[in-house]
Chain A
C-alpha cells in the first residue's frame, strides 16, 4: 500500500446522498484506476485515468463519475448512492512502462 492512500477508509451513507472517494498517490504514476470488489464478482473496473483530465469508462461505470485534476489525485463520485453500490472500492496505479498495478488499502462503503 506504500505510496497510495484512500480516504475515507470506511463510510456509511444513506440512499440518494452523494459520495466522493479520494485516491492519493505519491509515486507520480500516470495511470490510475478505480475498482469495486464484491463477493461472487471479483474485482471490476469502474473508471480509469491515463493522465490529468484524461479518463475513460470501465466495465461497471454506470452511476459513477471520476475526476483527475492533478497527477496525484483521482476522485470517484457516486452522484446519488444506491444500495447496489455497497462494496469495497480499491484504487490502483500503474506506470505505462510497466504493467503491474499497485493497489491502495480500500474503502468500505455501505449504502443504507
Chain B
C-alpha cells in the first residue's frame, strides 16, 4: 500500500540545537516533495520544495534533503529557536498525479525549549 510517514509525532529539542525531521514514503514516485509549517489554529504555510533530481535545498536556517534511493526526505532547522515550535508537514506530488494533488504526512510537532 502507499504510505507517507513522518517518523515522530513529536520532537523536543533544546534551543540552539539542530532539529531533524524525517519523512519516508512507500510505493510513491514523487516528482517533488514539499515541507510546510502549521501553527495551532492556522493553515499550513509553505517552506521549501525539493525536486526528485535535487539532493539538497537551503533557505536561511532551513535545509531539506531528498534521497530517492532511501525514499526519504530530511528537514533540518539549524540554531533552533522557541519561535520554531510548530507542526511540520511533508507532502509529495506523485508522478502521474494531477498537479497540486499533494499527499500529506500527518506531521511532526516540534517543541524548542529555551
Chain A positions near chain B (C-beta within 8 angstroms): 1, 4, 31, 33, 40-45, 48, 50, 56, 58-59, 90, 92, 94, 96, 99-106
Contact = CB atoms under 8 A, between A and B. Distances in A.
Interface residues of B, number: 22
Nearest to B104: A43
Contacts of A101: 34, 44, 46, 100, 102
B101 A58 contact: yes
Contact of B101 (A40, A48, A100, A104): A48
A100 B49 contact: yes
Nearest to B98: A56
Contacts of B32: 99
Given A33-B100, A94-B100, A103 B89 contact: no
Contacts of B34: 99-101
B46 A48 contact: no
30 contacts: A1-B43, A40-B106, A41-B106, A42-B104, A42-B105, A43-B44, A43-B89, A43-B91, A45-B101, A45-B102, A48-B98, A48-B100, A48-B101, A50-B98, A50-B99, A50-B100, A90-B44, A99-B32, A99-B49, A99-B100, A100-B46, A100-B49, A101-B44, A101-B100, A102-B46, A103-B43, A105-B42, A106-B41, A106-B42, A106-B43
